[in-house]
Structure 1
Amino acid sequence: MIGVLGIIISLGLLMFLAYKGWSVIIIAPLLALLAAAFTVFEGGDFHLLATYTEGFMVSLSGYVKSYFPVFLLGALFGKVMDESGAANAIAVAISTKIGKGKEIWAVVLSCAVITYGGVSLFVAAFAIYPIGAALFREAGIPKRLLPPAIALGAFTFTMTAIPGTPQIQNAIPMQYFGTDAFAAPILGIVAAIIMLFGGMFWINYRYKVAQAHGEEYGNHPNEDITPMDTSDLPSFATSILPIFVVLIGNFVFSKYVFSNMDTAYLADYNTTIDAVQGNWSLIVSLLIGILMAIAFNYKRFGSVRGCLKNGVQGSFLAIMNTASEVGYGNVIKTLAGFSLVAAGMLSISSNPLVGEAISSSVLAGITGSASGGLSIALATFADQFIAQAQAYGINPEVLHRVASVACGGLDTLPHNGAVITLLGITGMTHKECYANIGMCTVVIPAIACVAIIILGSFGIC
């Protein structure tokens, strides 16, 4: 039990320090070693440097090897779409098209289109905030509902549910289950519908309550918004085309190109086409999208080289944060105390979909990262889930979609970095906004996950 206490203390500190803004790259290895040190009290061996270099760092480097191309190209695509003005052009066009009286829909759908195309949720938040603030102010919608609207569009269904999304949370399960980004399309669409319309129902309900109390946009004296210059944005057509190319290219390459190639040579690399075609499809599609976005907007960049350099630097921080959490999880899962924790999570149900959802969601909540929690859960339990799914006759695509959707629930607890960043961008506080953010990004996605577990258990995918 002392080992379990060490894990609990370590996890508690990880959540607290991450919430306070400490870098996960620094605290994750230290707290992993702290948890491992508790094994001494149970008569076990603890080797400080070996645990760090042969446990934590081996797992970290393995994650970087597997996912760095997706992180890199995703960051580059987001940066190109941001600096070229394409992301803003899409947001302005959607907001104008939807029209007056549907400002909340305009914000949510603008974020959704951008993030479904592969642009990071952080870029979406920065791009949409000035537009959303102007729309909400003019319509008299309380500003405290703007962060939940952005979170609903960027942090939920486009991140985990809609088939084909190039976000990393949809890419991680591919290497474990031999699937592609379009796995279990029916379940993905069902989950997306529940998240979108459930979230919209909630935000509109809260808006009507605010209206009944006479609440409007509010007085925000410290609001510092630079009005967007919309006079020189690229056209909507040239802005949206790279996004379509990423999505369509991903589908074509994963379904028709790589699967029909002669890839017997992969045996020399100890892998198969089923294990890599998902990542390969994303890599090629994102690369084509980046080149197209640059070609369409070349003259709009102050410096293409500078834009790409900034994108590369951003990808380093993103992948190292997640990889550090994976390294942390790898150390924790080797501890004797973790077997008790794992047994507790997996004993709730013999249905592998339930165990997968619980482990992915809980670990995402602990780490404050959907991708980190998902990576730890699948690295630890994927083989067990696959064996159980085979016994139940469950398609691996269902495992993929449930894992992806499940990790996008408890990840956005108050200590989540994306939540903290969103509130910082909008100048709002947890007290003002988190109850509504949590409803849209924690509660409703959890309902969506339960729904697809039930459907998936009956063979629907």
Structure 2
Amino acid sequence: MGTLGILLSLALLMYLAYRGINVLLLAPLLALMAVLFAGDAALLLPTYTQVFMKALGGYLIQFFPLFMLGAIFGKLMDDSGSARAIAHGIVSKIGSSRAVLAIVIACGILTYGGVSLFVVAFAVYPIGAALFREAGIPKRILPGAIALGSFTFTMTALPGTPAITNAIPIPFFGTDTFAAPGLGLLAGVVIFALGSWWLSNEARKLIAAGEGYGEHADDPHGQDNQPSIGFWVALLPILVVIVLNFLMAKVYLPGLDTSYLAKPEFGGLQDARSVIGIWAIIIALTTAILLLVVLHWRRWVNLKKSVNDGTFGAMLPVLNTASEVGYGSVIASLAGFVVIRDFLLNVAPGNPLVSEALTVSALAGITGSASGGMSIALKALGAQYLEMANAAGISPELLHRVAALASGSLDTLPHNGAVITLLAICKLTHHDSYKYVFMTSALLPVVPLVLVIVLGTAFGSF
């Protein structure tokens, strides 16, 4: 009954999330439902306060600064006009003849630099709509291009990306955001090339069949305003994030004396690697935020409002993800989970990469969240995966990269919040465009994931 309760709870989580019920409410209720199926109603409140809330709080302690700083940085990039200036610059250099490629690259540069995918979608959509209209490309392909540039290779594959999905494995495996850089870069190139080719080919087929941009009365009116900021000035904060993150993670912070972390007041950490990667992102994003403020000092209409809006914009995403982590911790504490755990760990005996990929992908799909699914999986099984990897001679960096890649595949099922928001921004429906979003951000990313597992198993991490 315990195992049945867990499976029923997971199924309800996916269904009710798709129906639009908030995870903040769903996660504790469905976690406690699984506790009831386990047969001990007396444990409901202790489980809620001592397991669910403790795990939720632990996630906030680790990752809230990244959510908050990332949201502030994205808001300032948007309000300063920098995000739009970068998108305009890329589009003008590549041209309308390669409109799909231009949008993918513009989104990729912005998200790789730490700009929130929601900010990117808002900034790029008016430009993409005008560009697709000019080129005669059906508008329904546009969400697929934005998703490819924002939800895939810059979120999970490229080394150094400050995306939360690339930071979550750090405390579990003692790695940093540049884990397995060669494999990550290869995976990024593969998904970028496959996705761009597929979308461009779809566009050619639709145009050949006589379909044009289409009539969309709710499109942005008039031409998108040209930015008043130079391309390189707009790009500078993004370059700072990437370069400073690398220098902090690989050069400066590892050379510091961090023996004080072993003291009880600092958590009794024996290995500073579990926090150095997160420190590096915090320093990089903070510096880039300060640079943005100074660069555009005379341009801010209301800097206080921009910072406040960015801060408040981080609250719901981080609390949703933390609630999903609390849910996962409750499930992992139940006796019925042992059956599921043993099955997952024995999918490919001797190679935890396969089990990790399947588990993270499945939970990302169920929760509709890359970060939530990965957090649940690593919270429940991360220690076992690391132990199995050490026994098999597999690098923790490889575990990191596989977990990140796996989180960015099935997460974009129809109930995913980013998918729903993207379609709303583009003023299209699932019926219109989900096919293109699914192919570029859910199905095609499986190819580089498999490739990295095969190459990593054969040649190790590089």
**Could you tell me how far apart the structure 2 residues matched to 1:194 and 1:359 are?**
23
Name whichever of 410-419 and 20-29 sits farther off. Answer: 20-29
Q: Residue 400 of structure 1 aligns with which residue?
A: 400
**Could you tell me how far apart the structure 2 residues matched to 1:337 and 1:137 are?**
54
**Could you tell me how far apart the structure 2 residues matched to 1:90 and 1:224 are?**
19
**Could you tell me how far apart the structure 2 residues matched to 1:308 and 1:375 are?**
28
SS at 2:169 equivalent: helix
**Could you tell me how far apart the structure 2 residues matched to 1:388 and 1:454 are?**
17
Match of 2:236 among 241, 251, 259: 241
Q: Deviations over 1:122-169 (max 9, x none)?
A: 111111000000000111100110000000000000000000000000
Name whichever of 242-251 and 300-309 sits farther off. Answer: 300-309
Give yes or no for contact 2:96–2:132 (8 Å, CA) kept in 1.
no
Give yes or no for contact 1:234–1:297 (8 Å, CA) kept in 2.
no
Give yes or no for contact 1:161–1:401 (8 Å, CA) kept in 2.
yes
Give yes or no for contact 1:368–1:413 (8 Å, CA) kept in 2.
yes
Matched, 1:77 2:73: yes
Match of 2:258 among 257, 263, 266: 263
Matched, 1:388 2:388: yes
SS at 1:336 equivalent: coil
Q: Residue 93 of structure 2 aligns with which residue?
A: 97
| Structure 1 residue identity aligned to 2:69 | L
| Structure 1 residue identity aligned to 2:229 | P
Give yes or no for contact 1:179–1:400 (8 Å, CA) kept in 2.
yes
Q: Residue 427 of structure 2 aligns with which residue?
A: 427
Q: Residue 196 of structure 1 aligns with which residue?
A: 192
- The aligned runs of 1:111-126 (5 Å cut-off) are 111-126=107-122
SS at 1:219 equivalent: coil
| Structure 2 residue identity aligned to 1:344 | F
SS at 1:112 equivalent: helix
Give yes or no for contact 1:56–1:331 (8 Å, CA) kept in 2.
yes
Give yes or no for contact 2:408–2:445 (8 Å, CA) kept in 1.
yes
- The aligned runs of 1:302-451 (5 Å cut-off) are 302-350=301-349, 351-451=351-451
**Could you tell me how far apart the structure 2 residues matched to 1:36 and 1:317 are?**
26
| Structure 2 residue identity aligned to 1:453 | I
Task: Measure how far apart 1:28 and its partner are.
Answer: 1.2
Matched, 1:454 2:454: yes
Matched, 1:171 2:167: yes
TM-score (norm 1): 0.97
SS at 1:47 equivalent: helix
Q: Residue 145 of structure 1 aligns with which residue?
A: 141
Task: Measure how far apart 1:432 and its partner are.
Answer: 1.5
**Could you tell me how far apart the structure 1 residues matched to 2:5 and 2:228 are?**
54
**Could you tell me how far apart the structure 2 residues matched to 1:46 and 1:35 are?**
13
RMSD: 1.2
Percent identity over the alignment? 50
Task: Measure how far apart 1:241 and its partner are.
Answer: 0.5
Q: Deviations over 1:151-200 (max 9, x none)?
A: 00000000000000000000111111111111101110111011101101
**Could you tell me how far apart the structure 2 residues matched to 1:428 and 1:100 are?**
22
Q: Residue 107 of structure 1 aligns with which residue?
A: 103
Q: Deviations over 1:224-264 (max 9, x none)?
A: 4574321x532111110010001100000111111111111
**Could you tell me how far apart the structure 2 residues matched to 1:246 and 1:418 are?**
23
| Structure 2 residue identity aligned to 1:12 | A
1:10–1:224 Cα change, 3 Å: farther
Q: How many residues align?
A: 456
Give yes or no for contact 2:35–2:41 (8 Å, CA) kept in 1.
no
Unmatched segments (≥5 aa) in structure 1: none
Give yes or no for contact 1:258–1:273 (8 Å, CA) kept in 2.
no
| Structure 2 residue identity aligned to 1:408 | G
Task: Measure how far apart 1:436 and its partner are.
Answer: 1.7
SS at 2:38 equivalent: helix
| Structure 1 residue identity aligned to 2:103 | V
**Could you tell me how far apart the structure 1 residues matched to 2:453 and 2:249 are?**
25
SS at 1:95 equivalent: helix
**Could you tell me how far apart the structure 1 residues matched to 2:42 and 2:446 are?**
38
Give yes or no for contact 2:141–2:199 (8 Å, CA) kept in 1.
yes
Matched, 1:35 2:27: no
Task: Measure how far apart 1:389 and its partner are.
Answer: 1.0
Q: Deviations over 1:313-340 (max 9, x none)?
A: 0111110010011111111111222222
**Could you tell me how far apart the structure 2 residues matched to 1:209 and 1:424 are?**
25
SS at 1:300 equivalent: coil
SS at 2:168 equivalent: helix
Name whichever of 167-176 and 19-28 sits farther off. Answer: 19-28
**Could you tell me how far apart the structure 2 residues matched to 1:46 and 1:262 are?**
47
Give yes or no for contact 1:242–1:290 (8 Å, CA) kept in 2.
yes
SS at 1:234 equivalent: coil
1:450–1:225 Cα change, 3 Å: farther
**Could you tell me how far apart the structure 1 residues matched to 2:222 and 2:363 are?**
38
Give yes or no for contact 1:130–1:226 (8 Å, CA) kept in 2.
no
Matched, 1:208 2:204: yes
**Could you tell me how far apart the structure 2 residues matched to 1:225 and 1:172 are?**
41
Give yes or no for contact 2:397–2:461 (8 Å, CA) kept in 1.
no
Q: Residue 290 of structure 2 aligns with which residue?
A: 291
**Could you tell me how far apart the structure 2 residues matched to 1:192 and 1:53 are?**
41
Q: Deviations over 1:339-363 (max 9, x none)?
A: 2222222222111110111111111
